[in-house]
Amino acid sequence: MSPRRRLPEPAGVTRRRTVRSALVLGLAGGAVVGLAAEGYVLAYPDPADRAVVAASIGGNPGLAALFGTPRALETVAGFTEWRVLGVLPLVGAVWALLAGTAALRGEEDAGRWDVLLAGPRSRRATTGWGLAGLGLSLLVLAVATTVTAVGTGARALDLAGTLWTAAALLVAPAVFLAVAAVCSQLGGTRGQALQLGAAVLGAAYLLRVAGTAVDGLEWLGWLSPLGWVDRVAPLTEPDGLPLAVAGVATVALAGLAALLAGRRDAGAGLLAGRRPPRSRTALLSGSLGLAARLARGAGIGWLVGLAVVGVVLGLVAPTASEALADSQLDLGLPSGGATGGVPAFLGAVFLLVTLLLSLQAAGQAAAARDEEEAGRLDTLLALPVGRLRWLGGRLAVGAALLAAGGVVAGVAAWAGTVLGDAEQPLGELVAAGLTPVPAALVVLGLGALLLGVAPRWTSLAAYGYVAAAFLLEVLGGLFGLPETVLGLSVFHQVPLVPAVDPEPATAVATAAVAALLAGAGSLALVRRDVSRD
């Protein structure tokens, strides 16, 4: 065994892994607050411009549905609030689900908790220590967010408003860490826990969308943590009640998680099937088949999620697109408005599909690293399986899943438009769904490169890149950043199909970049040690 072996100490393991990512997320999130405010001042210096922005966005129910309630968009504070709170809580919630399930379930799946549970500590206490580690991460996130937001927003925002904003930004990470803790007790594995958590996040988002978009259903927002974020209105009409609700919910869910933890067996979940498993050996004849089998469960759940998102986007497209023609200001929509309406709206909001595909690509890379870290790669490579074949199989399965995701999103959006009485051509929407696939392949290729050269950073860096690239695309336009900088984001390489025609040349070039990254990663992988730490 190599000389450095990590000790199985759950609070410690949790701390090291999550604190690092919490710090990065906090610094980035806090900076986004200040940068969004500064960017608004830069982009719209005079009141006339600001009035146009406010009118076009404020009058658009679709944008309100997707990004939350706009308030006082003609002010720096109001615009910053809308822009920041529409995007960052989603990133924070995804981080919380990944970090929470990794800490409370990933460790256990890897068998590292067995050592502890054999000692005098109970499962509940062990979970409690895991929760304590997550609480520490949340604290780090809070401090990093607050300090950075205050530092960067000092010129454009008042201090009280900035502090309220930092508090509002903590709602989603805190609640979803606790959601992840509960899901970790319910699911039979980390994968299942993550799927449950993703379903909760999806439901929370849809409840928030419905609460914002449909008159008379505003109360639905109170059922969603993302609705609470929306109601804090930190920079315009700050309200402490939603923060209090979020705090109570977090504590209650964390307590529930600890309670549930005492009621289940190690390595089992409360919802895990009681039926004896049936052996299915059809896929299990090689490393490619194994990769497909391992990706199957979570992949199907993800495709179902994409289908729901696609249908919702298609459904809201007709109403949302009505006022969109005017609001090309910072969504990066094609000028002219000739192709306005539903295609323009879908072209813009398929950004969400790009995000989901990219997250899946990062997840595939993280899963490959997990295979190595848990020692299962040793088992496989001790058989007559080469490293290239292993990685190739994983990347092929990942790429196939991403392509399937694109098709599902397109078909689902089409079905949504049919349901919403604004049918669009199926072919165009499938093309729209497939358009982000090359960009997601770049993330997959980046993951392969990380696996080859910096394996320990694979998960953090791949997810971190997706988050950074997303923020760069959503907020970067405000600053008039040069094209070369914006181009670093894969999101920037995705044409807004169906608002514009597909660009096969861009797709091929992007896919070629992905192949280069994956190739470089493969070369590095065969030249390094296979390592569990």
Partner 1 sequence: MRTPAAGAPAIRTEGLTKRYGTVVGLDALDLQVQRGEVFGYLGPNGAGKTTTIRLLLGLLRPTAGRVEVLGVDAVADPRRAHRRLAYVAGDVALWPGLTGEETLHLLGRVHGSLDRAYRDELVERFELDPSRRVRAYSKGNRQKLALIGALMTRADLLVLDEPTAGLDPLMEQVFRACVREAAERGQTVFLSSHVLSEVEALCGRVAILRAGRLVSSGTLAEMRWDGALAVEASFDAGQAVPDVSAVPGVLDPVVDGAVLRCRVSGSVAPLLAALAAAGAVRVASREPTLEELFLAHYDQP
Q: How far is the CB of 298 from partner 1 (least distance, A)?
A: 10
Q: Which is nearer to partner 1, 287 or 417 (CB)?
A: 287
3-state secondary structure 383-397: CCCCHHHHHHHHHHH
Q: Which is nearer to partner 1, 163 or 385 (CB)?
A: 385
Residues forming the site for partner 1 (CB under 8 A): 1-4, 109, 111, 114, 188-189, 267-268, 276-277, 279-281, 284-287, 290, 293-294, 297, 374-376, 378-386, 527-530
Q: Which is nearer to partner 1, 220 or 295 (CB)?
A: 295
Q: Which is nearer to partner 1, 3 or 482 (CB)?
A: 3
Identify which of 151, 159, 161, 200 has the alpha carbon closest to the alpha carbon of residue 180: 200
Q: How far is the CB of 376 from partner 1 (least distance, A)?
A: 5
Q: How far is the CB of 93 from partner 1 (least distance, A)?
A: 26
Q: Which is nearer to partner 1, 275 or 504 (CB)?
A: 275
Q: How far is the CB of 273 from partner 1 (least distance, A)?
A: 10
Q: Which is nearer to partner 1, 110 or 469 (CB)?
A: 110
Task: For residue 78, give Cα distances in angstroms to 67, 69, 198, 478.
Answer: 13, 10, 30, 15
Q: Please check whether residue 306 is in contact with residue 356, taking contact to mean a CB–CB distance below 8 angstroms.
A: yes
Omega within 30 of 0 (cis) for the link into 384: no
Rg of the chain over CA atoms, in angstroms? 23
Q: Please check whether residue 100 is in contact with residue 179, taking contact to mean a CB–CB distance below 8 angstroms.
A: yes
d(C-alpha 497, C-alpha 2), whole Å: 51
Helices (H) and strands (E) in the chain, counts: 21, 0
Question: Could you report how far apart the first and last alpha carbons of the chain are, in Å?
Answer: 11
Q: How far is the CB of 159 from partner 1 (least distance, A)?
A: 47
Q: How many residues does the chain have?
A: 533
Task: For residue 41, give Cα distances in angstroms to 37, 77, 235.
Answer: 6, 10, 16
Q: Which residues are CB-contacts of 378 (< 8 A; sequence separation ≥ 6)? A: 530, 532
**Residue 108 corresponds to which amino acid?**
E
254 token code pair: 């964390």
Q: Which is nearer to partner 1, 1 or 338 (CB)?
A: 1
Q: Which is nearer to partner 1, 279 or 484 (CB)?
A: 279
Q: Please check whether residue 149 is in contact with residue 166, taking contact to mean a CB–CB distance below 8 angstroms.
A: yes
Q: How far is the CB of 378 from partner 1 (least distance, A)?
A: 6
Q: How far is the CB of 111 from partner 1 (least distance, A)?
A: 8
Q: What is the DSSP string of 441-485?
A: HHHHHHHHHHHHH-GGGHHHHHHHHHHHHHHHHHHHGGGT--HHH
Q: How far is the CB of 10 from partner 1 (least distance, A)?
A: 18
Q: How far is the CB of 2 from partner 1 (least distance, A)?
A: 6
d(C-alpha 301, C-alpha 423), whole Å: 26
Q: Which is nearer to partner 1, 216 or 276 (CB)?
A: 276
Q: Which is nearer to partner 1, 319 or 458 (CB)?
A: 458
d(C-alpha 261, C-alpha 269), whole Å: 9
Q: Is the dihedral of CA 306, 307, 308, 312 positive or negative?
A: positive
Q: How far is the CB of 494 from partner 1 (least distance, A)?
A: 34
Q: How far is the CB of 19 from partner 1 (least distance, A)?
A: 25
Q: Which is nearer to partner 1, 155 or 527 (CB)?
A: 527
Q: How far is the CB of 380 from partner 1 (least distance, A)?
A: 7
Letter string b/e over residues 204-225, b meaning 16 or more CB atoms within 10 A of that residue's CB: bbbbbbbbbbeeeeeebbeebb
Q: Which is nearer to partner 1, 61 or 267 (CB)?
A: 267
- Phi, psi at 295, each rounded to 5°: -85, -10
In three-state secondary structure terms, 100 is helix
